[in-house]
Structure 1
Amino acid sequence: MSRTGKKPVEPVSGVTVSVDGRTVKAKGPKGELSVALMDNVNVEQTEQGLVVSPTDDSAEARAAWGTTRALIQNIVTGVSTGFEKKLQIQGVGYRAAMQGKDLKLSLGFSHEVVYETPAGITLATTTPTEITVSGTDKQLVGQVAANIRDYRRPEPYKGKGVRYLGEFVARKEGKKK
C-alpha cells in the first residue's frame, strides 16, 4: 500500500483542478499546468480533494499510484505558490550576472558562459554569487538548476564551482611532499 497515494490532494484556495479524461489540469494565480495520467491509476474528485487509486493490484499500478499523486500535488503547488531553487557560486573571480533575460556566468573559462532562460522559468541574481531559479513546473526548475550547476560542478579539493545552497561538498586532502 502506498502511503503517499492514500492521501488525497487537498484543494488550495485560488486553484481550480479539473479531471478531463486521462488529464488533470490545475489553474491558479501563477498559471496553468496539466499532467497526463498513466493507464494504471484512476483519479476522482471528492469533497476531500482528488483521490488517486490503482486500477488493479499489480506492481506497476501500485508503483504508479504514489507517483501520480505526487505529480498532481506538484502541479497544484506550482500554480499556487511555485517552486524555487537557489544556487551558490564559490571561487575567486567566479560570478553571475543577468544579461537581459539570460544569465551570464564567469566560471574560470577563457570565455563567459551565457545560459538562455527557457520559457516558464525566472532567473535572478541577488548577489554576484547567488542565483535563484523559480517557476511553476517543479521538474523544469530542477532541470534548469542542474544544467547551470553542470557548467562547473564543485570540485573536491578547494570546493570551487556552482553548488546548491546548503549543499555539502566532501573535501579531499591535497598532495603531500
Structure 2
Amino acid sequence: MSRVGKNPVAIPDGVEVTVDGVTVKAKGKLGELSFVATEDVKIAVEDKSVVVTPVNDSKKARSMWGTARARISNLVEGVSNGFAKELEINGVGYRAQVQGQTLNLSLGFSHDVLFPIPEGIEIKCEKPTSVRVSGRDKQLVGQVAANIRAYRPPEPYKGKGVKYADEVILRKEGKKK
C-alpha cells in the first residue's frame, strides 16, 4: 500500500484537470502542463480530486502508483502557484545580474559566465548576491538552479560560491601553524 499514492490530489479553484487514458493535462492561471503516466496506473477525476490506483499488484505498478500521484500533484501545484528556488552568492566580487534572456554571473573566473535562461523559467536578481529561479515545472526549476550552482559550488573553507538559500555549508578548519 503506497502512502503517497493512496492520497487523492485536491484540485484547487481555477485549475482544470483533464484525463485522457494515461495523459493528464492541468490548466491554470500560470499556463498548461501535461504528464504521460505508464500503463500500470489508472487515473480518474472524482469530485474536485484526482485519484490514482494501480492496475495490478506487480512491483512496477505499485512503484509507479506513488510516482504518478506525486507528478500529478506537482502539475496541479505548478499551474496554480508555481515553484521557486532561491540561490545565494557568497564571495568578494561574486555577483549576478539578468540581461535580457541571459543571466550574467561573475564568479571569480577570468571571464563572466553567461547562462541562457530557458523557456518557461523566470530569473530575478533583487540583490547582486541573490538569484530567484521560478517557473511552473518543478523539475525544470530544480535543474536550472542546480546548473547555476554547478558553476561554482560552495567550498567548505571560506564558504565562497553559489549555494541554495536554505543550504547549510559544513565548514572545515584551515591549516594549523
TM-score range, shorter chain: over 0.9
Q: Report the count of equivalent residues.
A: 177
Where do 5+ consecutive residues of structure 2 fail to align? none
- Deviation sequence 1:74-119 (CA, Å, 0-9, x none): 0001000100000000001100011112110000000000100000
Aligned to 2:74: 74
Aligned to 2:164: 164
Matches of 1:175 and 1:135, distance apart in 2:
43
Counting only pairs closer than 5 Å after superposition, residues 25-64 of structure 1 correspond to structure 2 as 25-64=25-64
Matches of 2:21 and 2:54, distance apart in 1:
16
Counting only pairs closer than 5 Å after superposition, residues 1-177 of structure 1 correspond to structure 2 as 1-177=1-177
Matches of 1:115 and 1:57, distance apart in 2:
46
Amino acid at match of 1:34: S
Matches of 1:33 and 1:45, distance apart in 2:
16
Matches of 1:83 and 1:3, distance apart in 2:
24
Query: TM-score with structure 1 length normalisation?
Result: 0.98
Aligned Cα RMSD in Å? 0.8
Matches of 2:18 and 2:98, distance apart in 1:
38
Matches of 1:48 and 1:64, distance apart in 2:
22
- Deviation sequence 1:104-136 (CA, Å, 0-9, x none): 000000000010000000000010000000000
Matches of 1:12 and 1:117, distance apart in 2:
30
Runs of 4+ in 1 over 4 A off after TM superposition: none
- The percentage of counterpart residues that share the same residue type is 59
